[in-house]
Amino acid sequence: MSAINRFHEVANDALVQISDHLVPEAKLTLAIYVPGEPEQDIVLMGPGAAADEVVNTLRRRGGLSLDGSNIYKRMVCDSIIGAMAMGKQNSGPAPDGHWAKEFWEIGRAEGQQRDELVAALEHLVAVTTPDANGQLGAKEEHLASLEHARAMIRLHRG
């Protein structure tokens, strides 16, 4: 019997022994890891144990608050930021039913709002810019507002 198989057998026997002493509604999970070697991770879950509840327990009792630093939370946040950025650019939508779709749609709504604002500013500039003969009689403050609108258009059109 290999050392790994023997370990699993011993761990499983220990889980059974511990389970015999738990209150009836308690669930048991054993997690073993070697830092920096995720291929050696072992998670043994007793009957009826739910992964979400294990994570909730670690969050409550193991210091995994939303304010703490951990790689899983960082990866989730990076995925959300990426989905929102892709949505704003209207590219690479998350598939229907995927958890990131909601964030992609938030980003897309922001992108559409930006596009509508820029289009409105472009229209405003087009209809209020004096022609070569200065036919609109624009005042200096109007020209400053138009220049500001042009700067905003350049900024948001990239």
Boundary-marking domain end, from 15, 48, 65:
65
Task: Write down which residue in 65, 82, 104 finishes a domain.
Answer: 65
Q: What is the pLDDT of residue 97?
A: 95
Residues 42 and 77 occupy one common structural domain: no
Instruction: Output the pLDDT for position 45.
Output: 85
pLDDT at 31: 87
Q: Which two tokens stand for residue 133?
A: 């003969």
Instruction: State whether residue 41 is helix, strand or coil.
Output: coil
Q: Phi-psi region for residue 90, left (φ > 0), alpha (ψ -120 to 50) or beta?
A: left
pLDDT in tens, 98-131: 999 999 999 999 999 888 888 888 877 777 776 6
User: Are 53 and 86 contained in the same domain?
Assistant: no
Whether residues 88 and 156 fall in one domain = yes
Q: Note down the domain range covering 80.
A: 69-158
- pLDDT exceeds cutoff 60 at 133: no
Task: Give the per-residue pLDDT at 44.
Answer: 84
Residues 54 and 90 in one domain: no
In 3-state terms, what secondary structure has residue 140?
helix
Domain end point (choices 30, 45, 65) = 65
Specify the pLDDT at position 158.
62
The answer on 130 and 81 residing in a single domain is: yes
Report how far residue 136's alpha carbon sits from residue 130's, in angstroms, rounded to the nearest whole number.
Answer: 5
- Number of domains present in the structure of the chain: 2
Average pLDDT over residues 46-68: 82
pLDDT at 19 over 80: yes
> Is pLDDT of 132 > 70?
no
